[in-house]
């Protein structure tokens, strides 16, 4: 409690205000001087995206819009893991109602993040596989701390990245590089990611990443907000529409793929290998 008070006091002095008071798995703050919001994922141990975390991310994105944020930085409170991607436990031996809700919430969150009116920057301060990479790809600018990995590794797990995951990557690094990376399920090192254009900047640590992210958002200070946001909408509309018009089909395809016995077997082995690694 005392710690919370000190923290709140320190934040107030530095002009940082806490939003999303009820959120537990994310924190949303806004810098009152710049209007830039920071959305931090904080679901231990690895920010895997389960239904509850996705719900909080989605609500925070709306709150940042309602608060007229000038920009948003997406990052993690865990210096080591940005996000481990989708929570595999949501997909392994799933409860049908819950897994439907989970996938629908993932679609909703991606559509919202991909289309925000405000500029978005991912400060990738840790590993960022699969769904974690998707979140970063959905932002307009990616800044990554050195010595981590990022990529869409689904094929390695015996599952398939859906078309909108693929399109998000193609829009950033192009068809040829995406084809190679996705079919191999390649995880890029920070250096490799920079070379291929998957990330825009390499930094030493999160603090430097945050400074650079603020500088990126500041570039838009003199660009009329609506002209910018409409340009972004039109640039991204085709990609988003391909999911918006097919949400039901996409959900059904996901259910069909993920409930296949061989996909379940792969996921089971993968969970076990993660657990074995964690106990070593």
d(CA 186, CA 196): 12
Q: What tokens does 236 get?
A: 């991204």
d(CA 174, CA 257): 26
> Which among 6-14, 59-67, 79-87, 166-174 is the span making contact with ligand L434P2JQ, rule CB under 6 A?
79-87
Q: What tokens does 42 get?
A: 């904080």
> Which among 35-43, 136-144, 203-211, 271-279 is the span making contact with ligand L434P2JQ, rule CB under 6 A?
271-279
Instruction: Spell out where the chain has E strands.
Output: 16-19, 26-31, 36-41, 71-76, 80-81, 120-124, 126-129, 141-145, 149-151, 188-189, 201-203
Q: What Cα–Cα distance (Å) separates residue 108 from each residue in 76, 163, 185, 202, 264?
A: 21, 15, 25, 30, 25
CB 140 within 8 A of CB 121: yes
Which residue from 15, 80, 174, 268 is in contact with ligand L434P2JQ, where contact means CB under 6 A?
80
CA-based R_g, the chain, Å = 18
Which residue from 45, 174, 197, 268 is in contact with ligand L434P2JQ, where contact means CB under 6 A?
45
Binding string, 13-32, against ligand L434P2JQ, x = CB under 6 A?
A: --------------------
| Residue 43 interacts with ligand L434P2JQ (CB under 6 A): yes or no | no
Residue keyed to tokens 């409860």: 95
| Residue 278 interacts with ligand L434P2JQ (CB under 6 A): yes or no | yes
Which residue from 8, 12, 79, 89 is in contact with ligand L434P2JQ, where contact means CB under 6 A?
89
Has 85 been annotated as catalytic?
no
Which residue from 55, 154, 177, 236 is in contact with ligand L434P2JQ, where contact means CB under 6 A?
154
CB of 98 to ligand L434P2JQ, least distance (A): 15
| Residue 160 interacts with ligand L434P2JQ (CB under 6 A): yes or no | yes
Q: How many residues does the chain have?
A: 280
Has 276 been annotated as catalytic?
no
Has 86 been annotated as catalytic?
yes
| Residue 41 interacts with ligand L434P2JQ (CB under 6 A): yes or no | no
CB of 264 to ligand L434P2JQ, least distance (A): 11
Q: What tokens does 195 get?
A: 């070379």
Query: 18: which residues sit within 8 A by CB, 6+ positions away?
Result: 8, 11, 27, 28, 29
Has 153 been annotated as catalytic?
yes
**CB closer to ligand L434P2JQ out of 200 and 250:** 250
Phi, psi (deg, nearest 5) at residue 149 = -130, 155
Catalytic positions, please? 86, 131, 153-154
Question: What does the binding site for ligand L434P2JQ look like in residue numbers (CB under 6 A)?
Answer: 45-46, 48, 80-81, 84-89, 127, 129-131, 153-154, 157, 159-160, 162-163, 250, 253-254, 257-258, 274-275, 277-278
């Amino acid at each position: 409690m005392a710690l919370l008070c000190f923290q709140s006091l320190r934040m107030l002095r530095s002009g940082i205000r806490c939003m999303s008071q009820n959120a537990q798995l994310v924190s949303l703050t806004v810098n009152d001087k710049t209007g830039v919001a920071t959305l931090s994922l904080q679901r231990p141990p690895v920010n895997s995206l389960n239904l509850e975390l996705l719900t909080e991310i989605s609500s925070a994105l709306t709150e940042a819009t309602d608060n007229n944020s000038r920009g948003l930085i997406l990052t993690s409170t865990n210096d080591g893991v940005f996000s481990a991607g989708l929570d595999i436990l949501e997909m392994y031996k799933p409860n049908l109602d819950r897994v439907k809700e989970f996938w629908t919430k993932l679609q909703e969150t991606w559509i919202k993040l991909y289309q925000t009116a405000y500029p978005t920057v991912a400060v990738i301060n840790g590993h960022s596989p699969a769904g974690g990479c998707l979140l970063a790809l959905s932002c307009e600018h990616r800044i990554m701390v050195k010595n981590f990995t990022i990529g869409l590794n689904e094929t390695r797990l015996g599952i398939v990245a859906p078309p909108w995951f693929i399109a998000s990557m193609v829009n950033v690094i192009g068809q040829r590089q995406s084809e190679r990376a996705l079919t191999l399920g390649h995880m890029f090192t920070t250096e490799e990611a920079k070379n291929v254009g998957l990330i825009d900047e390499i930094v030493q640590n999160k603090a430097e990443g945050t400074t650079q992210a603020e500088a990126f958002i500041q570039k838009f200070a003199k660009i009329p907000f609506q002209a910018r946001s409409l340009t972004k909408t039109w640039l991204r509309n085709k990609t988003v529409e391909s999911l918006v018009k097919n949400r039901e089909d996409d959900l059904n395809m996901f259910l069909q793929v993920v409930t296949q016995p061989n996909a379940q077997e792969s996921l089971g082995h993968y969970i076990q290998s993660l657990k074995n690694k964690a106990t070593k």
